[in-house]
Amino acid sequence: MDIFEILGGFSYLGPLIILFLVNISPILMPPNWLVLSSFYAIDDSMNIAVLAIVGATASTSGRFVLKQLVSKFKNKSNNETSNLTMIGNYLNKKKFGYVISSFVFGATPLPDNILFVAYGLIKAKSIGMYIGFWFGKLLAFYVMLTISPAVLTPFTKMFEDRFVGILLADALGIVAIVVFAAIDWNIMLNEKKLRLVKPKLWRF
């Protein structure tokens, strides 16, 4: 008996716990919808709308903790003004900047772990980042649970069959973080030009 079958006996509490823990980690975690669909495959009597709400709440709560942990790390590291601070300044000037960006990352396959790591590094404080992300995840989970046959495949089987694919996805996520840090956001946002700088990940 695996962890999904064990926690599946706790109804909606199972996916709530697992997704919360999964979203605290910035890398090496399976897709949220895949975890959620595994619980649904084990117990298809669960209401899809309620399951989507539970999933969105757990994911958002986990990303909140991740963002706080990254912020704490930033406090103990070099306090030099970050290249990423420009992103925070840009979003702060937009009325729904955090809401829209978080919604897009939550509702699409874009790596939202990178988004919340960036939020933590720039110490973003807008509640809009959580509101947008929650609604984005709610939409994504509901759609995936409703129309995609793939989400009904038990997570454990998919994980075994696609272990290399999951590792590759995480490797691409790490590369994306490096590329994200290498962009000169001051030039990108103000002059609309792409310029790369040497990323100093330890001094975000």
Distance CA 85, CA 69 (A): 18
Q: In the chain, how many domains are there?
A: 1
Looking at residue 79, what is its pLDDT? 47
Looking at residue 170, what is its pLDDT? 65
Looking at residue 8, what is its pLDDT? 56
Within a 10 A sphere around the Cβ of 55, how many other Cβ atoms? 29
Reduced to 3 states (helix: H, G, I; strand: E, B; else coil), residue 15 is helix
154 DSSP assignment: -
Cβ contacts of 27 within 8 Å, gap of 6 or more:
113, 170, 173, 174
Domain coverage including residue 128: 3-203
Q: Give alpha helix (H) positions in 77-192.
A: 85-93, 97-107, 112-121, 128-147, 155-161, 163-182, 185-191
Question: Does the model's pTM come out above 0.85?
Answer: no
Q: What is the mean pLDDT of each run of 10 residues along the chain (204 residues)?
A: 58 89 83 82 87 96 94 62 65 83 88 85 88 96 78 51 58 70 71 70 46
